[in-house]
Amino acid sequence: MREPTPSPTPTVVMCPGGPMLLRGKHVVEDADGNLHETRRPVSAVCRCGKSALQPWCDGTHKVLPERDRP
């Protein structure tokens, strides 16, 4: 059985209209200079600016009008 060859896995992924995914261990500095360590296999960094969990995504981009999404 021939399996499709997986493409190389990116460590940073920009999700259209949504967050930036970070794969692996990173330290993220937020806008106020505070440091946040990732603690999951993949973390989602807010790009719309409206998350209540900065610097992480909390899904808020989905309730924004299309034009305000990243």
Partner 1 sequence: MLAPKARGSLSEQVLAALTSGQVSPTLRDVEPDGPEDAQVTLWSLYELHYRGFEDVDDTLEWHPDLLAVRAGLEAELEADLRERCPEVDLGDDFAAGLFSFIEQHDGPSVARFVQRDATHEQVMDLLRWRSIYHLKESDPQAWVVPRLSPGPKAALMELQYDEFGNGDPQLLHAHLFAQGLAASGLRPDYGAYIDEAPVEVLEENNAMSLFALHRRLRAASLGHLAAFEATSSGPSRRMSRGLSRLGFPAEMSAYYDEHVEADAVHEQLAVRTIAGAVVAEDPSLVQDVVLGAFTCLDLEDRFAEAALARWGAVDA
Q: Which stretches of the chain bind partner 1, using CB under 8 A?
A: 3-4, 6-7, 9, 13, 15-19, 21, 23, 39-44, 51-53, 56-60, 62-63
Residue with smaller CB distance to partner 1, 33 or 41: 41
CA dihedral 34, 35, 39, 43 (to 10 degrees): 70
Tokens 């600016």 identify what position?
A: 49
> CB of residue 34 vs partner 1: minimum separation in angstroms?
16
Here the tokens at position 67 are 């034009």
Residue with smaller CB distance to partner 1, 35 or 64: 64
Residue with smaller CB distance to partner 1, 3 or 37: 3
Phi-psi map region of 36: left, alpha, beta (phi>0 left; psi -120 to 50 alpha): beta
